[in-house]
Structures are given as structure tokens and as C-alpha cells.
Amino acid sequence: MSASDQRRIAVIGAGIGGLTLAIALRRYGIGVDIYEQTSELREVGAAVALSANATRFFEQFGLTTELSSRWFEVSALIFRDGRSGSVIGRHDVGATYRKRFGAPYVGIHRADLQAILSAAVGLDSIRLRKRLVDIDDSGARAMLRFDDGCTSDADLVIGADGARSFVRRWVLGYDDALYSGCSGFRGMVPMAAVPTLPDPTALQFWMGPGGHLLHYPMGHDHINFLLVERHPAPWPRRDWILPATEGEQLRHFAQWHPAVVEMITARPISDRWGLFHRPPLGRWTRGRVTLLGDAAHQLAPHHGQGAGQSIEDAVVLAACLKSGSGTLADALERYERLRRGRTRKVQYASISAADVLHLPDGDNADRRNARLASLDGALHHLSWIHEFDASRQEPSERQGGTWL
């Protein structure tokens, strides 16, 4: 038995990234213990869009049949003027996308995805009601302490505990969340509730000065949307969520296209979500503790890559930890070398996308529209993300590069 097979690995968080890591490691014969703070497995948010850089791995894991009955394959990528509804750019996805990138572009309810991934991991590997409150890495192994008084030790601790990561705070010594200047309302509506919506099976951006609406189809004949506006500034409280009153979602969008208004008023208003992100880190690892997914590189949501980059992280980290990968320190250094440059570039692209989507009327908006009208122009912003296969490629300079 190799040293990597004997390592005790603790994963903090049973979200998409942590579960994917457990599945990927098991393919190399490496087991993990997953510690989840909630009393039941549940994902925050209604749905997630997954592009080919993520969905290609579900086929490798043998999960495509189960997932394909739950997800909805996006038919097109469409950019629209949010006020007039006119099409700025329309690009087929479906079979054309699969042929170009080797895997589908889909929307799926987070709960469906988590249920399938957790079943693949096995519930016997997941310990619920385990809120981590301390890490002591001064001994022969890292010692974990939970709020119920229990402890556990591990040769490697992987913080996959999301955007509000305790493990990241332990690695850094402080909370470094940054408000992006935008907030949003999230919703999930039946397709039947938006009869005036054109192209309901497409992923669409409705753009305008100071805001945008993103929506895409998901399983169960529903549509998931995120309505974003540049408001308020600054964010007024420590919590990332503000209570909202009905009609507040129309503050900026009341005069937008009727299909936009129909969608954002089809269900009772959600809370207002502050859209936070975190700055890229110089290192992800402290001693025997490293980070994965949002804990390492929380993104603004405008490229839809939060889950995708977590899945890429998981595939790469598993490969680095497999038998024959050398010492644990070597494996973690290789993991960071392969991931930090790419995720940094995706972080920058995601935060700057809001500036592009929210341009005021004028020459810059006209130039943006001309670029997005062409397939080559749209692919300039997307292909370097979607084409990447983290199991077979090192990222090129365009794809983010490799560096420490």
C-alpha cells in the first residue's frame, strides 16, 4: 500500500466541490471523510449552470445517465437589449456546442446535483452536523475540533466549505470578503409562468445600463434567474443578505421589456443578495491544510463558473494526490501551480463581466454589441474557459497559465 493510500484525508464541506473530490479520489483508491455542518445535505441557491469544462467529468465518473434525466441542456446563448428585447447575438448551443467542446452545457437544480453526487460518494463517508470551530496543525497530524465537542485528525485537511469558509479564515487569519458593488434577486419559475418569454430553453443575458437579467433552463421545466443591479453602495450590513419587499425588484427594471418584468414578478420576491467575491490568494495552503472551490477563489456569478471551477479543482487535486505523486507537500505545490493562475483569470473575468453587461448607452456599448453579435466575438470571452479539460491539460497562458 502506498503512502498516498494510507493518508487520512478530511474534506470540510459536502457541496459540489467536496463531493466531486471524494468521487475523483475514489477512482484512485483513496478514501476521504467528509464533514458537513448542516443536519441534512442541501445546497444554497436554486440551480447551477454547468459548462463543458465541468460536465465532461460526469461522463468519466459514470453519472451521465442519472444526471441527464435531471438537467436541461441549453439550446442557445442569446444576448438581448434589456429594454427593447432586441437580439444582439444568438449562438446555437446544443449539439453544436457539444461537438466543439466535447460535453453539454446544462442547467440543473442544485439539490438534484448534490443528491446524485452524494449517492455516488456514499452516505457512510459523510458526517453531518459537524461544524468546524478549530484546527490545530502543531502535531503529527492536523486536529479538527467541532462544535459538538468531537475531534478528528487527518494528514490533510481540504477546505471545501464554500464562500463563507471557516478554513479560509483559518489559513489567512482574517475574513477578506469584498462587495462587488452589485446585488441581486434570485428566482426559479415554471416555464408556463412566463408565456411571453422568447426562447425559454436558451441561456440569455438581458443587458442594460446599470443592470442585467441572466436566466437559463433547468430540470423540471423550470427557469432559474438572477437579476442584478448596481445597488446599494456601499453594502449596508455584515450579513450578505437583506430582506426585500415586493416591488423592490422593479426599482431599476420597471421599464424594461415586458418579458423581463413578467419573469421577475412571477413569484414572490426573494431576499436581496449582496454579490461578494474574494481576492486571489498568493498561497492556498498552510501546513497540512489547503483550499478548494469558493473557499479558495470565490467568484462573482457573472460567468457562471463557481461550480465549474470547484469541479476542476477537485479533478486536479485528486490527480495530484494519487499514488506515485510524491510527498504531500509536492502534491499540494503541484495542485496550486496548476490551479491558481487559471482561477485567478476566471475571477478577474467574472468581476469585470458586470462592467461589460452594464455599459451605458454609447460607443462602448455599441462595440460590445458588435462583438457579442458574432460567434467569434462571443467565443473570445468563453472558449478559454469552456474548452479546458482539467484531467488532461495544463492551462495555457490564454487559459490562465501555470505559476506559483
**pLDDT tens figures, 72-112:** 999 999 999 999 999 999 999 999 999 999 999 999 999 99
Could you give the CA distance from residue 326 to residue 72 in angstroms, rounded to a whole number?
41
Residue type at position 93: V
Instruction: Determine which one of 35, 97, 105, 216 is catalytic.
Output: 216
CB 53 within 8 A of CB 386: yes
Measured over the CA atoms of residue 32, residue 36, residue 41 and residue 43, the dihedral's sign is negative
Q: Could you give the CA distance from residue 367 to residue 106 in angstroms, rounded to a whole number?
A: 29
pLDDT along the chain (404 residues), means of 10: 72 97 96 95 80 97 95 97 98 95 96 95 96 97 98 98 97 96 97 98 98 96 97 94 96 98 96 96 97 98 96 98 83 97 97 97 98 94 97 96 82
Is position 216 annotated as part of the catalytic site?
yes
User: What class, spelled out in words, does domain 3-73+103-176+278-356 have in CATH?
Assistant: alpha beta
pLDDT in tens, 155-212: 999 999 999 999 999 999 999 999 999 999 999 999 999 999 999 999 999 999 999 9
The predicted model scores a pTM of 0.96
| Residue 211 contacts residue 230 (beta carbons within 8 Å) | yes
- Which uninterrupted H or E stretch holds 346? helix 328-357
CA 372 – CA 387 distance, rounded (Å): 18
- In sequence order, which residues have a C-beta less than 8 Å from that of residue 304 and are 6 or more positions away? 48, 49, 51, 214
